[in-house]
Every structure is written in C-alpha cells, then in structure tokens.
Amino acid sequence: MAKITYIEHNGTRHEVEVKPGMTVMEGARDNGVPGIDADCGGACACSTCHVYLDEAWIERVPPKDTMEEDMLDFAWQPDPVKSRLTCQIKVTPDLDGLVVHIPEKQI
C-alpha cells in the first residue's frame, strides 16, 4: 500500500492507503475524497480528476503522455509543470508519500 495525501483547496487533508496498480484517481474515488469528480471513470476523456503535484513530487512521478497533456488543456487553471490527471498516475511503492493538491474546482 502507498499512502497518498490529497489536499483540498481549503487545506483539508485526506491521507489514504492506495493499493499498487490502482490509479491516484481510484484512490480518491474509493475513499470519498471530495474534489476529484472523475466524470469519465478514468478513461482520460475529461479533466475532472485534475490535481497539482506537490513541489517535492514533480520529478518523482512518471511523466505525462501526449493524451494527458491534451486533456489538461481543458482543466481549470492548469499549471504546465504541476498539473496532472490522477487517472493517469498508476500507484507504485515508489509513490508512497505522494502529496497532491486539488484545485478549487473541476471543469
């Protein structure tokens, strides 16, 4: 299990254990973390699971692919470096301790 910390826009923290092989989005959805809507169910067909990676994790999370970069164009206030879609981040033991910040809203 990897501990993932989701921080809401208002500062509320949610620390959850997520099984390797799941996505960061599934960890949020399955644990009732608010602010991760995941309207497309993880198909990388929307941007409603958008988060900002914590500074310490930017270089430690595998890079975005082209499809994710394209979908991030539709996210609310995307950041070219920190923004990620949680449906595209597979949990591995290396991501134990990952911290993500949920934007004020999803679109």
Residue whose tokens read 């501990």: 3
Any domain includes 40: yes
Is residue 76, in this structure, part of any structural domain at all? yes
Buried-state track 10-22, b at ≥16 Cβ within 10 A, e below 16: eeeebebebeeeb
Share of the chain above pLDDT 70, in %: 100
Number of domains in the chain: 1
Q: What is the CATH number of the domain that holds 8?
A: 3.10.20.30
Which structural domain range is residue 86 located in?
Answer: 2-101
User: Taking all residues of the chain, what is their mean pLDDT, rounded to a whole number?
Assistant: 97
Question: Is the residue at 106 inside a domain?
Answer: no
Question: Whole-model pTM?
Answer: 0.96
52 part of a folded domain: yes
In a domain? residue 107? no
pLDDT at 35: 97
Q: What is the pLDDT of residue 19?
A: 98
Question: What's the confidence (pLDDT) of residue 30?
Answer: 97
**Confidence category of residue 54, pLDDT binned at 50, 70, 90:** very high
d(CA 20, CA 96): 10
Mapped onto helix, strand or coil, the DSSP state of residue 5 is strand
When pLDDT is averaged across residues 76-80 and rounded to a whole number, the result is: 97
